[in-house]
Amino acid sequence: MSAPQATNHTHAPTALLVLGDGTVLKGRGLGAEGKAVGEVCFNTSMTGYQEIMTDPSYAGQIINFTFPHIGNVGANVEDIETVTPAARGCVLATDITEPSSWRALQSFDEWLRRYNLPAIAGIDTRRLTRRIRDGGAPNGVIVHRKDGKFDIPALIAEAKAWPGLEGMDLAKDVSCRQTYHWDENLWALGRGYGKAADPRFKVVAIDYGAKRNILRCLTAAGCDVTVVPATATTDDVLRHKPDGVFLANGPGDPAATGEYAVPVIKDLMKRDIPIFGICLGHQMLALALGGKTEKMARGHRGANHPVKDLTTGKVEITSQNHGFCVVRESLPASVKVTHESLFDGCVEGLEVEGKPVFSVQYHPEASPGPMDSHYLFHRFVEKMEKRK
């Protein structure tokens, strides 16, 4: 009987993931040639990689996907959350296969090249996830070169020198530059995205990095949505005569964005306008109420996070993407914690006693993820209806 053949390890790597602590992970380059530096985080979602890569909340981050079959359904022009992807690159366990979906217009590899995003495959992504879980999200550089020539000491120095997300205001980078109207509805099989029909409430969405599907959910709930930049003033918001104000998701350190966002939110709360915040919007609201936020060791990113609604006792499976959280002990007595994570107990929702103001840390629009929390958009509408 012939001896088993040894695995061929002679092929030089065409991509590296270099971490700030000097760790060098070698693999195969995918997507665009080039390099990108950012915080390396992991996402546990099994689907929706296109939505994840285009979620503005991932600005400044390199995504390590724990699910091994990323790219298997290809890419299209519909499953995006913003026009320009916010993530800086991605890490995969296996090579991207040919698309297996009737909706695919191109391969995920081609999509990455189109948007100049480098990727690396052949990495033990579960092991990297354990490293992030135990040691926190590291700074890293992802680099793809077909010639396999890398200056590793320079790459380590670049990863070490990157300042990290703490103290960084990224909302300005991903926010819209000017006000616009949104009327696109939720997607349906055979129709695609629809248009708003007979909206009942005017909503101004402050764009700290808004995902499109959040805006679609607002439209589907009966809202006429106007989107304003993150730096919009109180007058910019009020001149649209809104029935309610939505505080969008977004990237970066909430305290840094809060420098200009918090005074506006405080002004709006004085007028008893219904306010609904998601993700960074939730954190902005907490800061406006006198609370504090802090950087998490590893963050919450994925579509399988259990959250308990403390008002009903129900448990929702939620989609999440955040690296900062609200410090529970910093919240004033007038603020009620309504939801908490069953993973680590962090604050996942709050409301203000006596005011039509509430927020959640997670993503009820579910893009990607479960739809357990769609009711929150209708709760927002109910508050506007009651005030009107």
Q: Which residue has the tokens 């996830």?
A: 129
Q: What is the DSSP string of 277-301?
A: EETHHHHHHHHHTT--EEEEEEEEE
Whole-number Å distance between alpha carbons of 388 and 377: 17
Catalytic member of 39, 51, 340, 365: 365
Catalytic member of 223, 279, 325, 346: 279
Which is higher by pLDDT, 1 or 314?
A: 314
Whole-number Å distance between alpha carbons of 256 and 316: 30
pLDDT band at 6 (very low <50, low <70, confident <90, very high): very low
Which is higher by pLDDT, 297 or 153?
A: 153
Cis peptide bond upstream of 356, omega within 30:
no
Amino acid 34 reads G
pLDDT at position 197 is 84
Q: What is the DSSP string of 292-361?
A: -EEEEEEEEEEEEEEEEETTT--EEEEEEEEEEEE-GGGS-TTEEEEEEETTT--EEEEEETTSSEEEES
Statement: residue 29 has pLDDT above 50: yes
Residues in CB range of 288: below 8 A, 6 or more apart: 258, 261, 262, 265, 266, 269
Around Cβ 58, how many Cβ atoms within 10 Å?
Answer: 28
The overall pTM is greater than 0.75: yes
Give the 3-state secondary structure of residue 28: strand
CA angle 194, 197, 198 (to 5 degrees): 165
Q: Is position 322 annotated as part of the catalytic site?
A: no
Q: Which residue has the tokens 């300042």?
A: 163
Around Cβ 95, how many Cβ atoms within 10 Å?
Answer: 12
Whole-number Å distance between alpha carbons of 180 and 205: 10
Catalytic member of 144, 282, 300, 363: 363
Which is higher by pLDDT, 96 or 9?
A: 96
Statement: residue 11 has pLDDT above 80: no
Whole-number Å distance between alpha carbons of 146 and 135: 31
Express each pLDDT in 192-244 by its tens digit. 898 988 899 999 999 999 999 999 999 999 999 999 999 999 999 999 999 99
Express each pLDDT in 315-327 by its tens digit. 999 999 999 999 9
Statement: residue 131 has pLDDT above 60: yes
pLDDT at position 373 is 96
Statement: residue 302 has pLDDT above 90: yes
E strands, 46-159, are: 61-65, 89-91, 118-121, 139-144
pLDDT at position 2 is 35
Mean pLDDT along residues 46-69: 97
pLDDT at position 10 is 46
Q: Which residue has the tokens 């929150």?
A: 376
Statement: residue 3 has pLDDT above 50: no
Q: Is position 176 annotated as part of the catalytic site?
A: no
Confirm if 237 and 207 have CB atoms less than 8 A apart: no
Question: What is the token pair recorded at 235?
Answer: 């007058």
Confirm if 175 and 143 have CB atoms less than 8 A apart: no
Q: Which fold has domain 171-387?
A: Rossmann fold (3.40.50)
Mean pLDDT along residues 13-23: 97
Q: Is position 363 annotated as part of the catalytic site?
A: yes
> How close are the terminal C-alpha atoms of the chain, in Å?
83
The answer to whether domain 15-161 and domain 171-387 are alike in fold is: no
Q: What is the mean pLDDT of the chain?
A: 95
The domain segmentation of the chain, as residue ranges, is: 15-161, 171-387
Q: Which residue has the tokens 């979602």?
A: 45
> Structurally, what CATH architecture does the domain formed by 15-161 represent?
3-Layer(bba) Sandwich (3.50)
Statement: residue 276 has pLDDT above 60: yes
pLDDT band at 308 (very low <50, low <70, confident <90, very high): very high
> Would you state the torsion angle of the CA atoms of residues 159, 51, 219, 313, taken in this order, to the nearest 10 degrees?
-80
Question: What is the token pair recorded at 285?
Answer: 């609201």
pLDDT at position 316 is 97
Statement: residue 8 has pLDDT above 80: no
pLDDT band at 191 (very low <50, low <70, confident <90, very high): confident
